[in-house]
Amino acid sequence: MDCEGYKSLLADVKKDEGRDQKDSRYRVKFHWVLARARHYADKTGLAAEEILDAWERCRRYWYMNYYQECKQPEIKDGHVRVFDTVEELQEAVGDSGFRCPHCNGVSTSAYECDSGVELDGKKCDWKVYGLFGHCGNGISVFVKEKVAVQAIFMPLAWEGETA
């Protein structure tokens, strides 16, 4: 790959390798990222360079933590839905709400539970992001015009369907 994202990621990997030459985790992660960018390219029709550039522009912390299965999941049945535009995504989601995976209530937000369901004496405020966020607790969507994947609560309109 010949793009800014590749150069940025490689520079960070080389820094880490310079500090700890015996640790191969850094190079393994580098190759995982490149393979995952190619996977997204194959599944979306976008260029792998465009995808890697977008990921690197968004990355604000250590690549070893940023690039993970939860954040860049494989695009396969039931896990990631691909849309051309945000408008197309909004039409597919509809306005019936989202299923909170923690309390099973219906939230108006795709990211933070506002269902009003009480658990252990307090209203559920589960979030799709953060330490106990997505990783199996919702669905991911990839929007081509944004070159971005996001975890969201399962839209009620999609319950019982596969991607």
Each residue of 19-37: pLDDT tens digit? 988 889 999 999 999 999 9
Each residue of 79-135: pLDDT tens digit? 799 999 999 999 999 999 999 989 999 999 999 999 999 999 999 999 987 655 445
pLDDT of residue 139: 87
What is the pLDDT of the chain when averaged over all its residues? 91
pLDDT of residue 134: 47
pTM for this entry: 0.84
Would you say residue 155 has pLDDT above 70?
yes
Token pair of 141 as six digits: 């969507």
Residue 111: how many other CB atoms lie within 10 Å:
18
Among the listed residues 160, 155, 143, the one whose alpha carbon sits nearest the alpha carbon of residue 82: 143
Each residue of 142-154: pLDDT tens digit? 999 999 999 899 9
pLDDT of residue 136: 52
Query: Are residues 82 and 39 in contact, defined by beta-carbon separation less than 8 angstroms?
Result: no
Mean per-residue pLDDT, 51-76: 94
Angle (CA) 135-141-146 rounded to 5° is 125
pLDDT of residue 161: 74
